[in-house]
Amino acid sequence: MAKVRVAAVSYINTIPFLFGLQHHSVKESIELIVDSPSNCSKMLNSGEVDLALIPVVFIPDIIGGEVASRYCIAALQEIRSFVLAMNGSLSNLSTLYLDMNSRTSTTAARVLSQHSWRIAPELKPLERIETALQLRAGEGAILLGDNVLGLEASLGCKIDMAHEWRKFTGLPFVLAAWVSNRKLPSDFMALFNDALKYGVNHLDEAVLIGNPKGILTPQDTRRYLTENISYIFDNEKMESMKLFQKLHAQMETVPN
């Protein structure tokens, strides 16, 4: 039987998933590929992989793509690794720096600016992380990823984007989900979900083995994964994901 080709990203918040897939019996049934979020999405769409962990904002681009697992990357309140750093108050924000290659960052920034914050800052590309550490009055920067966790003490005034989404919608914020564009055998998906569960339930081992970047201490990594990340993809997270995708689609039909 051919192995199921699985693509995933390697970030601190995926440590439990990668540990589970590499230390559970499912490893005999899969070919695991670790790549960037955009490449995982491209490989799924092209048929190079059968199942991938991708940002929810990419899911509408996947022909026939559907959430295939009951696990995801989400936050119930604050996520810490996705923030708006700023110099001054939110109401006085006139310039917002964004990683234009991050569709999650740009979508969240535009949606919250228009619908929640009621501001219209000028959007500029964030080309250097140093820009976010040297913001002038009235400037802000959206930051997403592991490096944010290492910069927390240096960012000064900041607000958590997942918390802002919760304030706006009353829903958790979903970053990524496991997606497939073909029907996978139910017995395989049961085994796959069990592997993800195994990783989530063995955090101490997962953190010791799978935290090579050293951005956080093992203790703070475990705290981040237990207090800031939520892994179960339930009905509330499905509702949140669909709302985020709907608002993204509306943004795409309106000129910047």
Structure confidence at residue 210 (pLDDT): 80
Domain 4-74+172-252, second-level architecture: 3-Layer(aba) Sandwich (3.40)
Contacts by 232-238, CB closer than 8 A, 24 or more apart = 232/70, 232/71, 232/72, 233/67, 233/69, 233/70, 233/71, 233/72, 233/74, 233/174, 233/177, 234/70, 236/171, 236/172, 237/72, 237/74, 237/171, 237/172, 237/174, 238/67
Segment 164-213, tens digit of pLDDT: 999 999 999 999 999 999 999 999 999 999 999 999 999 999 999 887 67
Examine the pLDDT at 80 and tell me if it is beyond 80: yes
Examine the pLDDT at 9 and tell me if it is beyond 80: yes
Same CATH fold, 82-169 and 4-74+172-252?
A: yes
Segment 125-166, tens digit of pLDDT: 999 989 999 999 999 999 999 999 999 888 888 999 999 999
Check if CATH label 3.40.50.150 holds for domain 82-169.
Answer: no
Segment 14-46, tens digit of pLDDT: 999 999 999 999 999 999 999 999 999 999 999
Return mean pLDDT, the chain: 94
Examine the pLDDT at 218 and tell me if it is beyond 60: yes
Q: What pLDDT band is residue 256 in, cutting at 50, 70 and 90?
A: very low
The ranges assigned to domains in the chain are 4-74+172-252, 82-169
Mean pLDDT computed over 229-244: 97
Percent share of the chain, pLDDT over 70: 97
Structure confidence at residue 248 (pLDDT): 87
